[in-house]
A = this chain, B = another copy of it.
Amino acid sequence: MKNKRHSIKDIAAALNVSVTTVSFVLNGKAREKRISEEVTKKVLEYAKSINYKPNQLAQSLRTGRSKIIVVMVEDISNYFFSKLARIIEDIAYDKGYKVLFCSNENKDERSRELINLFRERQVDGYIIVPSPGIQDDISELVLDDIPVVLFDRYFPEIDTNYVIIDNSEAVHNASQHLINNTYKRIGFITIVSNQTQMEARQRGYRDAMKENGLPEFVLEVHFYEKNTDKIKEMIVDYLSNNQLDAIFFATNYLTQLGLEVIRESFPERINELGIITFDDNDLFKIYFPPITAVSQPLEEIGKELMNTVLKMLKSTPEKPYRNQKILPATLIKRNSSFSNKTT
């Protein structure tokens, strides 16, 4: 029962009309192009009966539109990104778009390769978590009137659309929460980075400490890909040398490593330490002690991103759609059942 694919030509041949007529009818232009009711009906019925589906490649080649949107994140296996991917995927399919996900590993080379790859496929729009050095590539897309929305971080120097959260505000609030709960020696573990989101988070922490006259303890680690041992060592040293009563992890993979370190080297401190992590994870709510987390509004971010891309697709170069959105994050407070304090 090998049902080979039907083309518009097959329909035309079967009904003894021209491909032009078939195309007009199938694109809902029958009226406009004055195709008779009779022929219109005939074509529609026949197309339906053989379950005709247009070849999207041919269609895209001709129209220049592919109905595909690329979502390029740092790492699709990261909780934050994969959850968001699902949300974006759902919205996109609803609107008749398909989504291509890919990971750039925060490397410029990879980002560029991917962007080129997709340009060759005439992808309609891009949702990108940019690696540090691809400003020019992003600029180029913008210049070529290809819809791009950045998220998680952005380039202040170039005028692009983006959807981010108020990182410094979020960390500031969360730090204040720790302070309100009588923690006094609060550490901040982050990665070496000059990307907007990481700088903002650190700023939020430092400001909160200054305002409350508390000492600042910042540990900046290089994020050595696979070499997590090196990072763990640094965290061990850091925890040994400072008498911290609370720790703020600036990003979720650091939280993971940090918790591993605490578990392996300082199990006795786990219940005293106040811990806050940036980015929530379903498992944090079942962790002992539960981890308070700065949670990004995934649904909202996803909606805002898709909305922006779709509106950009509809806009013209003359009156481009502009949207630079900063969303608030929320602090999910979880109480430890062991500790007498609240994180």
* Chain A residues within 8 Å of B, Cβ to Cβ: 1-3, 53-58, 60-61, 66, 75-77, 79, 82-83, 85-86, 89, 93, 98-103, 113, 116-117, 119-122, 140, 143-144, 256, 259-260, 262-263, 267, 270, 281-288, 290, 337
Contact = CB atoms under 8 A, between A and B. Distances in A.
Contact of A102 (B89, B117, B256, B287): B89
A-B CB proximity, top 10 nearest:
A259-B286, A283-B283, A77-B82, A82-B82, A288-B288, A77-B86, A57-B61, A56-B120, A77-B83, A56-B121
A232 to B, nearest CB: 12
Number of copies: 2
A319 to B, nearest CB: 19
Contacts of A290: 263
Nearest to A78: B82
B286 A260 contact: yes
A54 B256 contact: no
Which one of A3, A102, A143, A144 has the highest number of Cβ atoms from chain B below 10 Å of its Cβ?
A: A102
Contact of A85 (B77, B283, B288): B77
A284 B3 CA distance: 48
A287 B285 contact: no
Contacts of A98: 100, 102, 117
Nearest to A61: B57
Contact of A86 (B103, B119, B286): B103
Contacts of A282: 256
A270 B89 CA distance: 37
B143 A1 contact: yes
A148 to B, nearest CB: 15
A2 B144 contact: yes
A68 B82 CA distance: 21
